[in-house]
């Protein structure tokens, strides 16, 4: 049986048109080919290896240790620590080498970073002005009253703040336990840190819940999956330390900056103590789509997977104006609540703005930040709307280590020395008659006393300057159904509209690439039209 002729030789025009269409399709085919050759994604569930149940990780019943049965005197935390150290002989030394104890992070060739240094922020400003005891409620130790604190005494290490599993542990000024805390009961029930242990301080950064971090607050303890797929009990039910894996009590995570030689992504949780990464569980190619996986080279996972931060009822602080603080009604401090239920004024802090479901600001970021110190000379902006960036980030499109990251921008006004042009550490947390701002409501004595305590010069003249801080957003990862769609960024007024330094498909116009693309489309249309006309002329159907 004769076969019908296959692939009869097409006319020249048809061959040319096919070649053109072939060129047009080439990019698509090549993408599909590469996609087919990509390794299969292996994320989603690989965390199970590290996310073991609390109970299965306990190898000792601490209630059986006589030394932990007490009784301990009210608030005698050091006595509990001494008991812990009888078995855990190296634990205190390890803790004392960490930032949780020292509140300072050594930097090669630079002054240390940390709360105990001259670093300044635009929330509570600084502990250096005499506020140490109040702030030390979040110090992993006992008795951090002022700069005379003995950082070499292991008995003052607070084991319970991280290892209490009852939820009953409370710390007070200078880090001492509340005298009503049932120390013996807690000591007999210690375990691996839970969300609540870490959250006792890290949810409350900036002085209150949800203030500093837009992606961390105590709603995480009972979060629905839509708020945080990892920490929600409806989601993976993970704890902080499942990702922030420790080594010798050094809790994993970047300390202010990520060392340049450790920027590679960890392959599993705990491989790097200085850097956490989504890839440790999800790999660097977790999507089925090759194109989505390629985004990883220049876009942080968080950029698409945390579409908004503060996705809960709390709301996070975006504006803190110290210059309006201290107003009194009938001689007494007061608060004002806005229509949305958030505080818009507080005599302690001044005017404030809070918001929830906040769209992040996107910035090139390579892991490095610079920080401003009380000793740095600042240049107050002449523009009344101008602001001083306290912690500028580093990174650009051309930086191979940089990616587009989501950030929370926090703005406010804070006091500075108008003669010396330096930021100020006021004495804020103290009772009436102490000179503290929250006790006597006067800036002049609070600043004088604060700078004297900090051992820093003060001209006697102060004003307020607008400042900005930038905070990376990395928690509150949303379910994948809520991840950003392509058009959230690939459009002219999209989320990346102001991110500079590169050509973004769908956003940028008027380049040679656009000219070529439009030219190819026009040529195609012309080819189709000519082909149609020729067929019509020759009467072929």
Binding site for another protein (CB under 8 A): 74, 124, 134, 137, 168, 170, 172, 178-181, 204, 207-209, 332-333, 335, 346, 348, 428-429, 431-432, 438-439
Q: How far is the CB of 354 from another protein (least distance, A)?
A: 14
CB-based contact 427:437 (threshold 8 Å): yes
Q: How far is the CB of 179 from another protein (least distance, A)?
A: 5
Q: How far is the CB of 458 from another protein (least distance, A)?
A: 23
Question: Closer CB to another protein, residue 23 or residue 432?
Answer: 432
Question: Closer CB to another protein, residue 251 or residue 429?
Answer: 429
Question: Closer CB to another protein, residue 165 or residue 303?
Answer: 165
Task: Locate 19 and state its tokens.
Answer: 């070649």
Q: How far is the CB of 439 from another protein (least distance, A)?
A: 8
Q: 12-37 and 512-537 helices cross at what angle (nearest 10)?
A: 140
Question: Closer CB to another protein, residue 332 or residue 538?
Answer: 332
Bridge partners, 335 (sequence order): 346
Closest alpha carbon to 135 in 31, 208, 62: 208
Question: Closer CB to another protein, residue 5 or residue 331?
Answer: 331
Q: What is the largest CA-CA distance in the chain?
A: 111
Question: Closer CB to another protein, residue 329 or residue 498?
Answer: 329
Question: Closer CB to another protein, residue 75 or residue 527?
Answer: 75
Q: How far is the CB of 431 from another protein (least distance, A)?
A: 6
Please tell me whether residue 274 adopts helix, strand or coil conformation: coil
Task: Locate 217 and state its tokens.
Answer: 């607050």
Task: Locate 516 and state its tokens.
Answer: 């070529």
Q: Which residues make Cβ contacts (< 8 Å) with residue 285, sequence separation at least 6?
A: 38, 39, 41, 293, 296
Task: Locate 321 and state its tokens.
Answer: 């104006």
Q: How far is the CB of 239 from another protein (least distance, A)?
A: 23
Q: How far is the CB of 167 from another protein (least distance, A)?
A: 9
CB-based contact 467:387 (threshold 8 Å): yes
What per-residue string of b and e applies to 210-248 under the rule 16 or more CB within 10 Å gives b? bbbbbbbbbbbeebebbbbbbbbeebbebbbbbbbbbee
As a whole number of angstroms, the distance between CA 304 and CA 214 comes to: 16
Question: Closer CB to another protein, residue 66 or residue 332?
Answer: 332
As a whole number of angstroms, the distance between CA 300 and CA 101 comes to: 31
Q: How far is the CB of 428 from another protein (least distance, A)?
A: 8
As a whole number of angstroms, the distance between CA 537 and CA 191 comes to: 86
Number of helical (H) and strand (E) elements in the chain, helices listed first = 16, 13
């Amino acid at each position: 049986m004769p076969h019908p002729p296959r692939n009869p030789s097409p006319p020249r025009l048809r061959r040319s048109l096919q070649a053109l269409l072939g060129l047009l399709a080439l990019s698509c085919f090549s993408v599909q080919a590469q996609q087919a050759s990509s390794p299969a994604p292996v994320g989603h569930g690989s965390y199970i290896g590290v996310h073991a149940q609390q109970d299965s990780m306990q190898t000792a019943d601490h209630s059986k240790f006589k030394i932990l049965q007490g009784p301990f005197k009210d608030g005698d935390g050091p006595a509990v620590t001494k008991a812990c150290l009888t078995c855990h002989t190296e634990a205190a030394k390890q803790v004392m080498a960490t930032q949780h104890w020292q509140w300072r992070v050594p930097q090669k060739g630079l002054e240390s970073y940390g709360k105990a240094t001259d670093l300044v922020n635009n929330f509570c400003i600084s502990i250096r002005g005499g506020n140490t005891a109040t702030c030390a409620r979040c110090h992993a130790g006992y008795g951090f009253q002022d700069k005379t604190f003995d950082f070499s005494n292991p008995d003052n290490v607070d084991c319970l703040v991280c290892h209490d599993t009852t939820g009953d542990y409370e710390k007070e000024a200078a880090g001492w336990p509340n005298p009503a805390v049932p120390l013996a009961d807690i000591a007999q029930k210690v375990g691996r840190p839970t969300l609540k242990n870490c959250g006792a301080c890290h949810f409350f950064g900036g002085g209150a819940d949800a203030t500093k971090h837009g992606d961390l607050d105590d709603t995480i303890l009972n979060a629905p999956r839509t708020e945080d797929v990892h920490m929600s009990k409806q989601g993976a039910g993970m704890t902080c330390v499942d990702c922030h894996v420790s080594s010798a009590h050094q809790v994993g995570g970047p300390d202010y900056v990520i060392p340049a030689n450790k920027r590679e992504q960890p392959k599993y949780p705990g491989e790097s103590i200085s850097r956490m990464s989504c890839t440790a569980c999800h790999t660097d190619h977790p999507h089925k789509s090759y194109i989505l996986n390629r985004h990883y080279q220049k876009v942080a996972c968080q950029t698409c997977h945390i579409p908004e931060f503060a996705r809960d009822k709390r709301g996070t602080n975006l504006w803190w104006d110290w210059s309006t603080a201290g107003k009194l009604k009938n001689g007494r401090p007061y608060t004002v609540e806005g229509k949305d239920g958030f505080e818009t004024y507080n005599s302690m802090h001044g005017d404030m703005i809070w918001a929830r479901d906040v769209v992040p600001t996107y910035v090139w970021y390579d892991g490095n930040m610079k920080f401003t110190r009380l000793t740095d000379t600042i240049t107050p902006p002449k523009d009344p709307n101008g602001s001083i960036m306290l912690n500028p980030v580093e990174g650009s499109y051309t930086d191979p280590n940089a990616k587009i990251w989501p950030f929370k921008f926090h703005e406010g006004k804070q006091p500075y020395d108008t003669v010396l042009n330096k930021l100020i550490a006021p004495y804020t947390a103290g009772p009436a008659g102490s000179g503290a701002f929250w006790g006597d409501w006067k800036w002049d004595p609070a600043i004088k006393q604060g700078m004297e305590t900090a051992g820093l010069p003060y001209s006697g003249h102060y004003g307020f300057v607008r400042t900005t801080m930038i905070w990376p957003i990395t928690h509150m990862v949303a379910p994948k159904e809520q991840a950003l769609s392509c058009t959230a960024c690939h459009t002219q007024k999209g989320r990346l509209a102001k991110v500079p330094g590169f050509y973004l498909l769908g956003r940028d116009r008027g380049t040679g690439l656009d000219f070529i693309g439009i030219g190819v489309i026009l040529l195609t249309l012309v080819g189709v039209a000519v082909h149609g006309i020729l067929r019509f002329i020759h009467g072929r159907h």
